[in-house]
Amino acid sequence: MVCAFGAALALAGLVYPFFRGDRFMALNIAVVTARWGLAALIAGSAVQLAVSPRADQPLLDMLEHAAPSLRSLILRRPRRLPIKTPTNTANATVWPASN
């Protein structure tokens, strides 16, 4: 109940400038905030990529899912190939033939 009230209060605080205040100034602030948020997201992803390059990269995965051709920009030729999954070795066990 408290979380729902807090979320409603935060939403009302975000929407208030658009209805009661200067809409253009509120829109300008929203655009600037979105730009800084996107810049922070890209910077955080770059730091994560620099610190642990073999770890999962959610931002790169999202971009690659949206536009698969970006994979050729990110990876070199040998790594562009799909990752091979191990074959099922349980069925490949060779038993001596019984005659």
**Interval 65-82: pLDDT, tens:** 888 777 777 666 655 555
Does the reported pTM lie above 0.75? no
The first and second tokens of residue 83, run together, are 């990752």
Quickly tell me which residue has 């600037």 as its tokens: 32
For residue 70, being part of any structural domain is answered with: yes
The number of distinct structural domains making up the chain is 1
What whole-number distance in Å separates Cα of residue 51 and Cα of residue 48?
5
For residue 65, being part of any structural domain is answered with: yes
pLDDT at 75: 64
For residue 98, being part of any structural domain is answered with: no
For residue 93, being part of any structural domain is answered with: no
**Interval 15-67: pLDDT, tens:** 888 788 778 888 888 899 899 999 999 999 999 889 988 888 888 788 888 88
| Closest among 4, 1, 27 to 14, alpha carbons compared | 27
Q: Are 71 and 80 in contact (CB under 8 A)?
A: yes
The number of residues in the chain equals 99
Domain that holds residue 26: 11-80
pLDDT at 61: 82
pLDDT at 87: 56
For residue 73, being part of any structural domain is answered with: yes
For residue 6, being part of any structural domain is answered with: no
Quickly tell me which residue has 């066990």 as its tokens: 93
For residue 18, being part of any structural domain is answered with: yes
